[in-house]
Structure 1
Amino acid sequence: MRNSIPIILSVGFACAAQAGPIETNAGTLQAVSVVDGLETPWAFDFLPDGTILITERDGALIAVRDGQRWQVNGLPRVYSDGQGGLLDILVPDDFATNREIFLTYARKQGLFGAGTAVFRARLSDDGRSLKDGKTIFEMTRGSGGGVHFGSRLVEAPDGTLYVTVGDRGDGEKAQNLALHNGSVLRITRDGAAPANNPFVGTGGAQPQIWSYGHRNPQGAALDGSGQLWTVEHGARGGDEVNKITPGMNYGWPVISYGVNYNGSKIGEGTRKDGMTQPEHYWDPSIAPSGMTFYDGKVADWRGDAFVGSLKFNMISRLSGDPLREVERIEGPETQRVRDVAQGLDGALWFLSVYNGALYRLE
């Protein structure tokens, strides 16, 4: 239940521990450890009763409430290799009505391939198992290897789902509309393509595609107006913040503000007619991951975007129009930040892969 109106409630915090101060432009904050002992955590979300659900890449879904933690059963068979595994989790706004949740994961395809997939299931009343689980979508045949699955989930204002898919390490496929590689998708809760998607009825194009020409979008969020944004990994330099417009081509690998890891040029340069420019880019790369727009307790931050960095061990705060990085929030707790979200309590929460912990800034 991300980007929802903040609700102040009493959450049972597991393993809560006070940490040292973190200096920010909004004042001195504390990063409080809420859950620790996690193994390669990837994403988290909240149930309306305050239960925290956390995915671990190797294939575990952890639930935490009132000082207790347990592993939720009923997950799909996850392909865990490199960057692939159990990835994002989404608790939709109508969870209280039907108890459905959505997960993304790397799914085995053929003998050597794997691709991004979306799984829907109903959480049991006791919160300990997933029922009626079904893979509602999987990308066209993925590539071998364990890189660039993308894999963020965002609920659109109309209840459809945005899904980010990486190029799977094969950049040229991000320009091929017959494939899902390197795209942002929009699907129904049954995995189908909504009739008003931009490429529905276009011969040979995958109808779920909302935008394309992306490298590896590992962060996505809606701003206060309902506009979708993504952050994605470049190669060496050229990590991007993109404002997503349906039907647009974001250029990878034809244009980029980075270079290949060996220093050679990528594509044709930084601009080309018919290809959309990023709103912001980082050079050197920060390895951006989870993203959220904030409207919580800290007045100076309202309306700003927050993006986790896997490389520079910080959270990037972006503000203004166009968005620009205005601050780096960093401390011992912000090491390899994989996911960032606003909690139901109005605070900023984040996952550290390096520390294996979920924190709340207060």
Structure 2
Amino acid sequence: MKAIPVLSLALLALTAGACQAQTLAESGATPFTVTEVARFDQPWAMVFLPGGDALITEKAGKLKWLSGKTIRDVAGAPKVLEEGQGGFGDVALAPDFAQSGMIYLSWVEKGEGSLSGAVVGRGKLTLDAAKPRLEGLEVIWRQTKVEGDGHFSHRLLFSPDGKYLYVTSGERQKKTPAQDLTVNLGKVLRLLPDGKPAPGNPFAGKGGQSAEIWSYGHRNLYGLGFDKDGRLWENEMGPQGGDEVNLIVAGKNYGWPIVSNGSDYDDTDIPDHSTRPEFEAPKVWWNPSISPSSMLIYTGKKFPKWQGDMFITALSGQALIRVHLDGDKATKGDQWPMERLREVEQGPDGDIYLLEDGDGRLLKLSPKA
């Protein structure tokens, strides 16, 4: 009998894993039921509106309004540069949305020549069934433009008190800018709702874009969330391994590209965090990579045992992952195999919603009866 090559065995294992993911998600071998709500074309992010409707961004540049089972295009969405990892990004409601109707969006725009960068904009949402639209969209923040089509990050999160807008800005696969305090790449940023640097940021006065920076030494940051005590948590993709969950502290350096618990893509070793204690180490990390793509810190009542825990969607890991939070400590919890997942959100009903990266399904996770 002819031996099966090692590579073929690996492919068989991956195929088996994908089949297992489908079986687990749809056979009921989970603590929740999975219901398909709708389908979209390369969805990237979503946010629920008061009343239960939702807005969904599609990577190519569409803003969708989901109301019941009806999906409508929202006019006035920005023109985006869809290239590589770039395109339409996050969507968030202004803290005073109920009064102002303002929403915030992130996307990638083209610069001069081959340069590109993420931007954040805001505009007024009008949900008229005949003509849903976004009006007065203005750009309030821009990422340093460089060449390349990766690591834009551009996740958005308002502080619980609504005073500050936090923005993740990837290092654009350039590595060294993450340690440069004069540029806003490889950073968590703290801004005012109008996009200006927030007063009291730790590096204001060091020149360039330093006044925007809250923390630095990050790689590709795809998740942000506040816990019940007001701590800010973040997740990011490492290189080959070393994906991280970090507790974000103002002014701290998280070490990229000097340290990582993974290896570079050419298999060059990168010193682990433990070798350089002056850098903030991750609270949880994965090797091999899971490719974390979003974060939710759960506050609902449908899953009472999970209140206060973190949920992470994984792309290459093809899973929904629970991380238990206990004060400033984090430990790995459940990992439920699924498809490639792009986004996790908590619905107003306390159920958990997922956006798939491939088939584009919006899935609702409800507790089993």
TM-score scaled by structure 1?
0.89
- Whether the 8 Å CA contact 2:273–2:279 is kept in 1: the answer is no
Question: Which residue of structure 2 lines up, in the alignment, with residue 87 of structure 1?
Answer: 89
- Whether the 8 Å CA contact 2:34–2:364 is kept in 1: the answer is yes
SS at match of 2:206: coil
Question: Which residue of structure 2 lines up, in the alignment, with residue 319 of structure 1?
Answer: 324
Question: Which residue of structure 2 lines up, in the alignment, with residue 34 of structure 1?
Answer: 37
Of 57, 63, 72 in structure 2, the residue corresponding to residue 70 of structure 1 is: 72
Residues matched between the structures, number: 336
- Whether the 8 Å CA contact 2:262–2:272 is kept in 1: the answer is no
**CA displacement, residues 309-339 of structure 1 (integer Å, 9 cap, x when unaligned):** 0012110100143211111123xxx311101
Counterparts in 2 of 1:98 and 1:316: CA distance versus 1, 3 Å: same
- Whether the 8 Å CA contact 1:199–1:205 is kept in 2: the answer is no
Question: Which residue of structure 1 lines up, in the alignment, with residue 231 of structure 2?
Answer: 227
Q: Distance in 2 between matches of 1:242 and 1:288?
A: 12
Aligned CA RMSD, in angstroms, stands at 1.5
**CA displacement, residues 232-260 of structure 1 (integer Å, 9 cap, x when unaligned):** 00000000001000111110000100001
Counterparts in 2 of 1:320 and 1:221: CA distance versus 1, 3 Å: closer
Q: Distance in 2 between matches of 1:124 and 1:166?
A: 31
CA shift at 1:295, angstroms?
Answer: 1.9
CA shift at 1:305, angstroms?
Answer: 0.4
Question: Which residue of structure 1 lines up, in the alignment, with residue 315 of structure 2?
Answer: 310
Unaligned stretches of 5+ residues in structure 2: 1-24
- Whether the 8 Å CA contact 1:81–1:145 is kept in 2: the answer is no
Greater mean deviation of Cα atoms: 119-128 or 237-246: 119-128
CA shift at 1:220, angstroms?
Answer: 1.1
Q: Distance in 2 between matches of 1:254 and 1:71?
A: 44
Hey, which of these two has a bigger chunk of helix by percent?
2
Q: Does 1:119 align with 2:124?
A: no
The amino acid that maps onto 1:324 is T
Q: Distance in 1 between matches of 2:333 and 2:172?
A: 31
SS at match of 1:207: helix
Question: Which residue of structure 1 lines up, in the alignment, with residue 58 of structure 2?
Answer: 56
Q: Does 1:193 align with 2:197?
A: yes
Greater mean deviation of Cα atoms: 302-311 or 65-74: 65-74
SS at match of 1:173: helix
- Whether the 8 Å CA contact 1:21–1:31 is kept in 2: the answer is no
1:133-152 correspondence runs (5 A): 133-140=137-144, 142-152=145-155
Q: Distance in 2 between matches of 1:125 and 1:42?
A: 21
SS at match of 1:359: strand
Q: Distance in 2 between matches of 1:47 and 1:356?
A: 20
TM-score scaled by structure 2?
0.88
Question: Which residue of structure 2 lines up, in the alignment, with residue 20 of structure 1?
Answer: 26
1:1-362 correspondence runs (5 A): 20-24=26-30, 27=31, 29-36=32-39, 38-126=40-128, 128-140=132-144, 142-159=145-162, 160-204=164-208, 206-266=210-270, 270-296=274-300, 297-321=302-326, 322-330=329-337, 334-362=338-366
CA shift at 1:67, angstroms?
Answer: 2.2
Q: Distance in 2 between matches of 1:251 and 1:102?
A: 30
Q: Distance in 2 between matches of 1:72 and 1:304?
A: 33
- Whether the 8 Å CA contact 1:22–1:329 is kept in 2: the answer is no
CA shift at 1:107, angstroms?
Answer: 1.5
- Whether the 8 Å CA contact 1:153–1:163 is kept in 2: the answer is yes
- Whether the 8 Å CA contact 1:256–1:270 is kept in 2: the answer is no
Q: Distance in 1 between matches of 2:73 and 2:213?
A: 34
Q: Distance in 1 between matches of 2:272 and 2:339?
A: 35
